[in-house]
């Protein structure tokens, strides 16, 4: 439970409490306006408390995720290279072995292409 008393978590707790209180206050304000005859405020009377419930649900979800210590949140240890890049590298290697001047010209064209896009 100590992990929820770090400065970052205390800030999140404070933010969640302030948002919930504000959203409920806005709902009450819209209820007062609806009672005064503003028909559009009836929709907002129910909308603001739903926002407050959403904040509470997300707050609980964040705390559960922290407690479960999801392994999926960690970055992968080995970043796999797409197969297309490996194939492209192999083709370049074969072209350089066949004709070095053609490979140099292709590198020149690739560099020009990259410069024109950048």
Reading the chain (118 residues) residue by residue, the pLDDT tens digits are: 788 889 999 999 999 999 999 999 999 999 999 999 999 999 999 999 999 999 999 999 999 988 887 555 566 666 666 777 777 778 778 878 888 888 788 888 888 888 887 6
How many whole angstroms separate alpha carbon 8 and alpha carbon 107? 49
Specify the pLDDT at position 80.
66
Per-residue pLDDT, 73 = 58
- pLDDT for the residue numbered 72: 55
- C-beta neighbour count of 100 within 10 angstroms: 10
Tell me how many degrees the CA angle 8-14-19 measures, rounded to the nearest 5. Answer: 125
Which DSSP category does 76 fall into?
A: P
């Amino acid at each position: 439970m100590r992990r929820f008393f770090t400065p970052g978590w205390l800030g999140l707790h404070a933010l969640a409490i302030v948002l919930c209180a504000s959203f409920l206050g806005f709902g009450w304000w819209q209820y007062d306006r609806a009672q005064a005859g503003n028909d559009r405020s009836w929709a907002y009377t129910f909308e603001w408390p739903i926002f407050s419930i959403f904040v509470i649900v997300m707050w609980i979800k964040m705390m559960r995720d922290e407690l479960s210590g999801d392994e999926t949140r960690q970055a992968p240890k080995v970043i796999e290279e797409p197969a297309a890049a490996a194939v492209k590298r192999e083709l370049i290697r074969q072209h350089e072995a066949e004709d070095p001047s053609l490979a140099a010209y292709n590198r020149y064209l690739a560099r020009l292409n990259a410069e024109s896009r950048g």
